[in-house]
Chains A and B, each alone.
Chain A
Amino acid sequence: MDKILARLEERFPGRATTRQRPDLAFVTIEAAWLREAALHLRDREGFTHLVLLTAVDWLEAGQFQLTYLLHNRARACDIGLRVMLARDAATMESIHDLWPTGATYQRELREMFGIDFPGSPRVDAEFILEGWIGPPPYRRDFDTLAFAESNFRHREGRETRDPAAHMKHKLYPEKG
């Protein structure tokens, strides 16, 4: 694992490397190098399986973080490649030709986060939301309560209680 990381570091000088577990590490690299890094890991180091491709919305930093988690079956270890994208114009190179499953992940990210992957097959098609008329719902600045209240009719008379306080009051009424 150390050797793999050292070779990766040598070719693609990363900005940060996190060793989560002995068999799991995350490497943050430049967005432009992602394709070469993934190819390097897939073809030379044996990371043949794309476990997942997901995104994190760092609203305060104005960035999306994409994580490409790759798995090496022979050595039973994983490396996550992290890429930071600017939030306002989120576009990323597509990897559907390296792993066909990538296309599905990219479709989901396109729908849920609004990150574009030009060239990916059917990337603009609906993934799980049908007839969606709001902004991408997994972005953290999307107010889901406000959307739900404007889109759906609610039943009146609903109360919301803090569970901890409510149970305390129910179980130990003498303590107030």
Chain B
Amino acid sequence: MKDDSRKFPLRPELEPREVKTPDGQTITVDPLRDYFCEAAPRVHAPVYVKIVEDFFNWARSESLWILGFGTGCGAIEMRPLMTPRFDAYRFGIQWRPTPRQANLLMISGYLSVKTLKRAIRSYEQMQSPKYVVGLGSCTINGGMYFDSYNTIKRLDDYLPVDLYIAGCMPRPEALLKGFEDLKKIIRAGKAEGANAYAENFAQYKERQKAVIHDWDMPDYNW
């Protein structure tokens, strides 16, 4: 049923090209090399002194900045967290508009292959230590989209997941409980997803490329 032989040409805007600058010079632009950073991710070891690292982890756990990136229907369950009824701000949770400043990526619900590509790019642009939380059954085993031709079935194949929150969809109360659990994980020093990603980089990339058939970016692009 699959046609693995099909090849996808590079999109025209990503091909190397000659550009004339306003000064009249001609320069060559190779978007895949010039617009991305190619260096592979590094493992960032924790601080040697345990008590200092514990203190840092406490600070990290109490200041979770979520990337405002909604992937599926679960995004609608995140918004009430900002409202007076649930008010996640009192737990030190904030939403940030850019992946550079965020350190928690919420995969909120089903993730289509097309969105997976964007999610991977967003994740790789975040700064370590960074955490991933999968929301809802869809991220765990496909949920009601188990037979869909276009959504992934296991999120942890593609990104290092620290915590799953089950439900279809989980209510905001469940999310708050999930955040509390995530804080415990971080404080225990077990949320080293970014390092796991760097260590098993080849495996993650292999699985990502198995479903993203038109891979048109460098392997690592922060």
Contact = CB atoms under 8 A, between A and B. Distances in A.
Direct contact of A and B (CB under 8 A): yes
Interface in B196-221: 207, 210-215
A46 B27 CA distance: 54
B146 interface: yes
Q: 9 shortest A-B CB distances, which residue pairs?
A: A131-B214, A131-B213, A145-B147, A155-B141, A144-B149, A152-B153, A130-B114, A147-B149, A155-B154
Given A131-B212, A147-B1, A154 B142 contact: yes
Nearest to B155: A155
Interface in B1-45: 1-4, 6, 8
Given A129-B150, A133-B4, A134-B2, A153 B207 contact: yes
Nearest to B215: A131
Contact of A148 (B140, B146, B207, B212): B146
B113 interface: yes
Interface of B: 1-4, 6, 8, 113-114, 117, 140-142, 146-150, 152-154, 157, 207, 210-215
A146 to B, nearest CB: 6
Contact of A151 (B117, B140, B211, B214): B211
Q: Which one of B1, B141, B153 has the greatest number of beta carbons of chain A within 10 Å?
A: B1
A62 to B, nearest CB: 21
Interface in A146-176: 146-148, 150-155, 157-158, 160
Given A144-B148, A154-B142, A155-B140, A133 B153 contact: no
B150 A137 contact: yes
A134 B3 CA distance: 6
A172 B219 CA distance: 54
A61 interface: no
Contacts of A131: 8, 113, 212-215
A50 B24 CA distance: 48
Contacts of A155: 140-142, 153-154
Interface footprint category on A: 20 to 34
Contact of A154 (B3, B4, B114, B146): B146
B150 A135 contact: no
Nearest to A157: B141
A130 B117 contact: yes
A147 B2 contact: yes
Contacts of A147: 1-2, 149
Interface centre among B1, B6, B149 (most CB of A within 10 A): B149
Contact of B1 (A128, A129, A135, A157): A135
Contacts of B157: 153
A115 B6 CA distance: 19
A132 B3 CA distance: 9
Given A133-B2, A158-B146, 11 more contacts: A130-B117, A131-B113, A133-B3, A133-B213, A142-B149, A144-B149, A147-B2, A148-B146, A152-B142, A152-B153, A153-B207
A143 interface: yes
Contacts of B142: 148, 152, 154-155, 158
Contact of B149 (A128, A151, A154, A157): A151
Contacts of A153: 153-154, 157, 207, 210
B98 to A, nearest CB: 23
B8 to A, nearest CB: 6
Contacts of B154: 152-155
A144 B114 CA distance: 17
Nearest to B143: A158
Contacts of A133: 2-4, 6, 213
